Each structure stands twice: as structure tokens, then as C-alpha cells.
Amino acid sequence: MKHPLLLFAALVLTLHCHSSAGPTPIIPAFYIWQTEPDYYSYNLVKKLGVQKIFLRLFDVAWDGQKPIPAGPYRGDFGYPDTEMIPVVFITNETMQHLDSSGCVDLATRISRKSKAMLRRMESSMRTSNRWDLMYADSALSEAHREDSLLKLGNAWLQNIHHFQIDCDWTASTRARYFYLLEQLQALNPEWTFSCTIRLHQYKNPEKTGVPPVKSGILMCYNVDDLKDPATENSIFNYNETRKYLQNAPKYPMPLDVALPAFRWGVLFHLNQFQCIIPDNALGPATMERLEAIDKTHFRARMDFTLNDHFIREGDIVRMEEADDQELLQTIQLLRTQSLAQPLTVSFFHLNSSLNEDETIPKFQKILAAFN
């Protein structure tokens, strides 16, 4: 039996080490999921001290016969003071149709298209910077100017070290998806790959497996059935999220966190799901045609067309966005999980509808809650 004084000394040392560890370093980040560039949020990124931007390059979908790229990003990169992490989203349906040779082929195609898009973005940025450099030093010769621009562009490309794959894989597709990840890493040794982890994958790693990558990001949104009219909030719901986080086994990989920063409307006709109404379509003109049933449900007063979709009188729109207090409750649960150190906290997603005056204090409070 150890001497009581030795036990007391050990306890004091443990408490001292714990208290001196300090708060978890938090790295603010955003996802950009839009096809067209939107730089109206530049000040928001700067004021919030965002260090990383996860930029979706394109999706991979199944067209009935083969995987195809869809919805490619069409802009350049407008946040030069942040680290850019390219992201490619792959539908689980695509993985269901691939064999091992199909995974090899898809990895090659993703690599080629991603690098081509990054080179195009670099070229576009070089063109934009040409005028700035000309005015900054008009004495530079054309050859020196082009050489400087080429070096700047190459430096930007070489600073891309991290690449993320987003896929809601299942137990039946895990082997093929993991093989695809291995092929991507083999083809691109200059990049470190990460992938997204959905809540059901986090809760059941024995079924869905743990992907063979260096790191992951836990996606804490889209937690309930969007198409069910009885669902309260499919974007974020504390009670549903808690089911995945409480009593979950320790995940074998340290995880960063992604939280929702978007809203939408979900349209139902005769209790049947019709479509998602994007945030930018829910302006005053639309809301005037709806009457409130409660805080989140609205009924159409008349027939009208919205985003090429016909809305009938009596149709129901369920408004969804994350509640701030429920987010803070969830953060207390997340703090008990095996999270990365330092911790990247990403908000999904960056767009012009985020009001700076409202959003910055809200996001600052959320980031501070992780400590």
C-alpha cells in the first residue's frame, strides 16, 4: 500500500498538470458549398479570424451507368489569408455501383479533375494579381512581372497540403469507399487526406468502420428525416444529436467538428415532401404569401411559383435552422468526446445571407463554448 503522503502528492501533481494544460486551441473555419463564388462575406471571415476554408470543388454522382462530376465550383479563391482545403463530395449511390477497378479509375479521375481545377483557379488568381503588381511597381519589366506571378501561383498551389473527401458511406459500401481513399492517397502523396464523419458513423464504428485517413471531421447537422412531416428540425435537433453522442464508444481517430450555419424551408403538399426552399428564396416577398401556424410551420395563403416550383394554397412550409441554445448544449456533449487538439470548428456554410452584426457575436460565443 502506498504511503498516504505519496498519494496526496500524486493527486496534487495531477490536478496541477490538468489545470496548467490550458484551454483547447480553437481554429475557426468555414465550408463553401456554392457553385458560384460569393465574396460578400469577406469581412465576416476576417473579423472572425477564420484560418481555414473547406472549398467544395465538385460532386461525384451516378448517372445510371457511370460516375460523373456534377456542380463544379466556377470561381477563384477569394480568401488569400486563409488555408484552402479542397473538398469532393461522393454520393453513396456511386460507391454502391463500383468494384475495385472502378475505385481505381474514379480515384484517378478525381485526382486529375481536382488538380486541373486548382490550376485553373491559380491561373485566374494570377490574372487578377497582374494588375495589382503592375500598379505596385510599374518599373518591373514584363518578364520579371510574369516570373513573380508564376512564383506566387506556384507557392499557392504548393501550400495546399490537405484534401477532404465527403461521403455518407454505409456498412455495405465501407470496403469500396476505404479502398478509394487508399488509392487517392497513393496517387497524391503531397496531400494529407481527411474525410467527413456522420453521426451514425461515429456512433457505430464497428459497423461502418473507421476510414484509413489521418483525420476526420464530425458533421453535427442533418440529424433527422427531412422528408417526414413529423420531424421537428432535420438540420439540427439536440435530442436527436444526443442519441449519437451519449455513451458512444471512443472514436479511434481525433475529430474536428462542423456545425450548421444555414437555414431552409421544407415544402409539403398533402403531407408529402416536395422540395427544399433555399434560404435566399425566403425573403419578404415569399413570407408575405405565407401565414404562421406556429414558430416553425407556415401555410401558403395562395397559389404561387417559387424557384420554378408551384406552391398551392394550403401547402405547408417547415422553416429550419439550428437553435443557439441547443447548439451550446451539444457543445457540452462534444467536449466529452475524443476531439482533435488543436480543434478546428467549421461552420457550414459561408454565404451572403450571414449578417455580420448577428453572426459574429453568435459564432464567437459558440467557439468560446468549446473551452
pLDDT of residue 152: 62
85 vs 358, residue with greater confidence: 85
> Total structural domains in the chain?
2
CA distance 63 to 89: 15
The DSSP symbol for 21 reads T
| 216 plus 347 within the same structural domain | yes
Above 70 in pLDDT, residue 153? no
| 227 plus 176 within the same structural domain | yes
Looking at the domain assignment, is residue 110 inside a domain?
A: yes
Q: What's the whole-model pTM score?
A: 0.89
pLDDT of residue 131: 46
CA distance 58 to 48: 27
Q: What amino acid is encoded at 122 in this protein?
A: E
Task: Provide mean pLDDT across the span 93-98.
Answer: 98
340 vs 153, residue with greater confidence: 340
Q: What is the CATH number of the domain that holds 242?
A: 3.20.20
Looking at the domain assignment, is residue 212 inside a domain?
A: yes
| 257 plus 268 within the same structural domain | no
Looking at the domain assignment, is residue 15 inside a domain?
A: no
Percent pLDDT > 70 in the chain is: 87
22 vs 319, residue with greater confidence: 319
CA distance 219 to 260: 9
**H runs (alpha helix) in the chain:** 4-20, 42-47, 92-96, 100-136, 142-158, 174-187, 199-203, 205-208, 238-245, 284-287, 324-334, 356-369
Looking at the domain assignment, is residue 335 inside a domain?
A: yes
The residues facing 243 across adjacent strands are none
Task: Provide mean pLDDT across the span 242-259.
Answer: 94
Looking at the domain assignment, is residue 41 inside a domain?
A: yes
Above 60 in pLDDT, residue 257? yes
| 252 plus 295 within the same structural domain | no
| 235 plus 361 within the same structural domain | yes
Above 90 in pLDDT, residue 14? no
Above 90 in pLDDT, residue 115? yes
Task: Point out the domain boundary residue: 303, 320, 337.
Answer: 320
Looking at the domain assignment, is residue 13 inside a domain?
A: no
Above 60 in pLDDT, residue 194? yes
| 184 plus 284 within the same structural domain | no
pLDDT of residue 20: 44
**H runs (alpha helix) in 67-173:** 92-96, 100-136, 142-158
Q: How high does pLDDT run on average in the chain? A: 89
What pLDDT band is residue 27 in, cutting at 50, 70 and 90?
Answer: very high
| 342 plus 314 within the same structural domain | no
| 154 plus 206 within the same structural domain | yes
Grid cell digits, residue 128? 487578377
CA distance 93 to 95: 5
| 133 plus 272 within the same structural domain | no
Percent pLDDT > 90 in the chain is: 75
CA distance 206 to 188: 28
The string of DSSP letters for 47-98 reads HTT--EEEEEEEEEEE-SSSEEEES---S----TTSEEEEEEEE-HHHHHT-
Task: Point out the domain boundary residue: 320, 337, 356.
Answer: 320
Looking at the domain assignment, is residue 136 inside a domain?
A: yes
Grid cell digits, residue 339? 476531439
Contact in structure between 182 and 103 (CB atoms under 8 Å): no
Q: pLDDT of 42-84, one tens digit each?
A: 889 999 999 999 999 999 999 999 999 999 999 888 888 899 9
| 255 plus 314 within the same structural domain | no
Question: Nearest-5° angle of CA 205, CA 209, CA 211?
Answer: 120
What pLDDT band is residue 149 in, cutting at 50, 70 and 90?
Answer: low
| 177 plus 165 within the same structural domain | yes
Domain limits at 339?
Answer: 24-261+322-369
Task: Provide mean pLDDT across the span 248-273.
Answer: 96
| 159 plus 206 within the same structural domain | yes
Looking at the domain assignment, is residue 146 inside a domain?
A: yes
Above 60 in pLDDT, residue 282? yes
Helix crossing, 100-136 with 142-158: angle to 10°?
140
Maximum Cα–Cα distance across the chain: 81
CA distance 206 to 219: 19
Q: pLDDT of 332-365, one tens digit each?
A: 999 999 899 999 999 999 988 888 888 999 999 9
